Amino acid sequence: NAGVTQTPKFQVLKTGQSMTLQCAQDMNHNSMYWYRQDPGMGLRLIYYSASEGTTDKGEVPNGYNVSRLNKREFSLRLESAAPSQTSVYFCASSEAPGGKSPLHFGNGTRLTVT
> Which residues contact other proteins (rule: CB under 8 A)?
4, 31, 33, 40-45, 48, 50, 56, 90, 92, 94, 97-100, 102-108
How far apart are CB 90 and other proteins at their closest, in Å?
A: 6
- Select 32 or 81, whichever has its Cβ closest to other proteins: 32
- Select 50 or 69, whichever has its Cβ closest to other proteins: 50
How far apart are CB 48 and other proteins at their closest, in Å?
A: 5
- Select 73 or 105, whichever has its Cβ closest to other proteins: 105
Long-range contacts of 81-87 (CB under 8 A, 24+ apart): 81/13, 81/14, 81/15, 81/16, 81/17, 81/18, 81/19, 81/111, 81/113, 82/15, 82/113, 83/15, 83/113, 83/114, 84/113, 85/111, 85/113, 86/111, 86/112, 86/113, 87/36, 87/37, 87/38, 87/111
How far apart are CB 65 and other proteins at their closest, in Å?
A: 18
